[in-house]
Amino acid sequence: MRIRPTLSWTPTEGLPPGTTDLEPVVDALSGGGVLVLSGAGLSTESGIPDYRGEGGSLSRHTPMTYQDFTAEAQARRRYWARSHLGWRTFGRARPNAGHRAVAAFGRHGLLSGVITQNVDGLHQGAGSEDVVELHGSLARVVCLSCGAFSPRRELARRLEEANADFAPVAAGINPDGDADLTDEQVGDFRVVPCADCGGVLKPDVVFFGETVPPGRVEHCRRLVQGATSLLVLGSSLTVMSGLRFVREAAQAGKPVLIVNRDATRGDRHALTRVALPLGAALTTVADRLGLGLPGTP
């Protein structure tokens, strides 16, 4: 029997309450050297749901695990059918005010870096540079046999050609770009192999049950070590891939500030948690710092 990865976390008693006071965030950014760690909650205002917030996708959807994807051809067919349909919507998402605020912080030299748990590329779309994609990117595909990388848009073209009549209506879309389809809707969807060696293709993202590449983890640890403080945006910090950086920052005596409407697994390590919507909160922070934000594209 396969062990399922941790998908949820129940807040425990004794966590400090959230606040609406943004001054600690303003103060931290005004001093510069802030490292941002962002999660799915930052992209909800772009139309991409998060996993665990109110109405989060985990209430209706169990994400694909690495173990299932690599072991079962039917699991890969189901994943690629759902992901192919979801990509059409996911790829149209645009950066929101929160992404634009983070980009503005970076342009004005207030950040030491950005680590994101998201796979949507919206930080880069807003203008942020040198973003570390902790869990990879849906914009790339990797072959599990030969290791070749290719653009997702090329795979989308090949899948369109192989499944010309595939046009089901999805019930929703998830943070990993996976659309909600029934097995009947998936049907006999055709999965295409690697164009170079015929091997199995996988999105270049870290599935649940898969480990983040060690080199990427070490790079993030160095960013934590070099930062003056850590600002967490829109992450419940349920999984260890992000929580470990919060713990390491706190252990090093660096202030941890969280902006997330719901309690997080990292709250007990934080100086404060601001329980406000991210777009409005970060726009207010940018205004108090005297930074102008570009309008919505």
Buried b (16+ CB within 10 A) or exposed e, 136-151: bbbbbbbbeeeeeebe
Average pLDDT over residues 255-278: 96
**Ordered domains of the chain (ranges, CATH):** 23-288 (3.40.50.1220)
Q: How far apart are CA 5 and CA 249, in angstroms?
A: 25
Structure tokens, 282: 């970060």
Active site residue 61: no
Report pLDDT for 3.
38
- Choosing from 99, 123, 135, 269, the catalytic residue is 135
Q: Are 199 and 144 in contact (CB under 8 A)?
A: yes
pLDDT at 296: 44
State pLDDT tens for residues 168-222.
877 667 766 778 788 888 889 999 999 999 999 999 999 988 999 999 999 999 9
Strands 256-259 and 229-233: parallel
Give the pLDDT confidence score for residue 129 in this predicted structure: 96
Q: 234, 42 in Cβ contact below 8 A? A: yes
Question: What pLDDT does residue 1 have?
Answer: 33
Distance CA 27, CA 49 (A): 30
Provide the pLDDT confidence category of residue 297 given band limits of 50, 70 and 90.
Answer: very low
Angstrom distance (rounded) from CA 252 to CA 247: 9
Q: Which two tokens stand for residue 276?
A: 């406000």
Q: Is the pLDDT of residue 50 over 80?
A: no
Q: Which residue has the tokens 């770009």?
A: 177
Query: DSSP readout, 27-53?
Result: HHHHH--EEEEE-GGGGGGGT---SSS
